[in-house]
Chains A and B, each alone.
Chain A
Amino acid sequence: MNSAISQYQMLLKQYIDPQKFPLLFDFFYANARTQTYKAGTTLFSQGELTKIIGVIISGEIELSYIDEQGSYVLVERFADGFWYGDGTFVDHQPMAYTATVKSEVRCLLIDEKILASAQAPVDQFYRFICQNLMARLRIMYYKFDGITTLPLEQRIIDRLQQLQDKNGHINITHNELAQYLSVSRYKVTRLMKQLEKQGQLQQHYGKIQMCN
């Protein structure tokens, strides 16, 4: 077997389980394409009706939205394994968020048109979408719980742990962190000082190092 093909298969296996979704796996394998997005560009925009379904295979994006008052709200950062366009595929409603590329992103994409074709394994595809949506819904429940009941100190630590790289590094300012947590920068700064004193983290200019 051609090694480029088998590499691609290995990659795809990480995002679609061939045991659970054999037909969908084969269909993606035959029809999906890769695309690269440079830092600073957008993967999709709030209000857009995406015509593709995609998954990030490398790089990082930041999700944000503009609320009714025109405020800019940061939601989350995502890296490989992030699926998008599936919700819009189901309900034909526009995207709720904008995804801005933080570091060059590679995606695996498939066009809605192709998925609507007669050969597409729709049963498996909808089952797959249900699974993705459920995972996202559970995350939202958790976030909702966090925001309504967890003390801010715990929320900061949770958030930093989500954002850290393999070495416990996070490139983030207090301002950004405050936006992620929807609290004032002042509160974040005060608590970050406290956490640093407790030896839980170290602060540097525009970045944070977690201590374990």
Chain B
Amino acid sequence: MPIKQHQQLLKQYIDINRYPLLYAHFIEHATLNYQHTEQPLFRQGDMPNKLAILISGQVEISYIDELGNYVIVEKCGEGFCYGDAAYIDGNPLPYTAKPLTEIIEINLAWTSLQNQPQLELELYKFISQNLVSRLRVMYYKFDTITTKPLQERVIERLQQLQDKQGEVKLTHDDLAFYLSVSRHKVSRMVKKLEADNILKQGYGKIKLLN
């Protein structure tokens, strides 16, 4: 059982005290997926057939809207979960997830959840918890996008994306996509923040100064 080596990791994502049966079921039936390529973990419109939890690595979540625009939603790391929403409403995934690094995920096939009435309560509790937290993130995003000044949104986004050294590898174009504003506005704002000594620009990257 390869999953057993990752028991400690799994405990971080499934609280053994709250979800003892679900945890045991994961240990028994889940498999590990290692991925080293840029192949999307899933594409917008895909119908998942498993519950998946990212335990290592980072993905970029994006989608193509009705008008064909490419919109980057965010970068997600460990703890990112998918296949739970579709398990509830049977609708396909609204986003594409592209790996930015090597990925390790824990996968639990939906089929292993069939005819397991003893699991139902924990499973739905677990999913409802995930959904509420995602809903609160969406409320927050919606709030920032509608009411916060661009300067704050730029800084906040860069802080989310920075690595340990405070560096963010991205172009003004990428940043504009993340914030859903024009590249022109982003360039002007980044220049202003550089003049204010909040950050320093390099080629294709930005360093946050503290």
Contacts and interface: CB of A to CB of B under 8 A. Distances in A.
Interface residues of B, number: 33
| SS class, residues of chain A in contact with chain B | helix
Contacts of A143: 142
Most chain B beta-carbon neighbours within 10 Å: one of A134, A135, A145:
A134
A147 B145 contact: yes
Interface string A103-144: 000000000000000000011001101110111111011011
A93 interface: yes
Interface string A169-198: 000000000000010000000000000000
Contact of B139 (A69, A96, A126, A131): A96
Given A133-B135, A137-B131, A137-B134, A69 B89 contact: no
Contacts of A2: none
B121 A122 contact: yes
Interface string B90-117: 0100100000000000000000000001
Interface string B74-91: 000000000001001101
Contacts of A133: 128, 131-132, 135
A122 B125 CA distance: 9
Most chain A beta-carbon neighbours within 10 Å: one of B63, B89, B145:
B89
B94 A90 contact: no
A69 B152 CA distance: 12
B142 A123 contact: no
A131 B89 contact: yes
B136 interface: yes
A147 B146 contact: yes
Contacts of B128: 90, 126, 129-130, 133
Nearest to B89: A134
A73 interface: yes
A207 B109 CA distance: 53
A133 B120 CA distance: 17
Contacts of A140: 135, 138-139, 142
Given A96-B139, A147-B142, A149-B65, 18 more contacts: A73-B143, A73-B146, A87-B132, A90-B125, A90-B128, A90-B132, A93-B132, A123-B124, A126-B121, A126-B125, A130-B124, A133-B135, A134-B89, A137-B131, A137-B134, A138-B94, A144-B142, A145-B65
Interface of A: 65, 67, 69, 71, 73, 87, 90-91, 93, 96, 122-123, 126-127, 129-131, 133-138, 140-141, 143-145, 147-150, 182
Interface of B: 63, 65, 67, 69, 71, 85, 88-89, 91, 94, 117, 120-121, 124-125, 127-129, 131-136, 138-139, 141-143, 145-147, 180
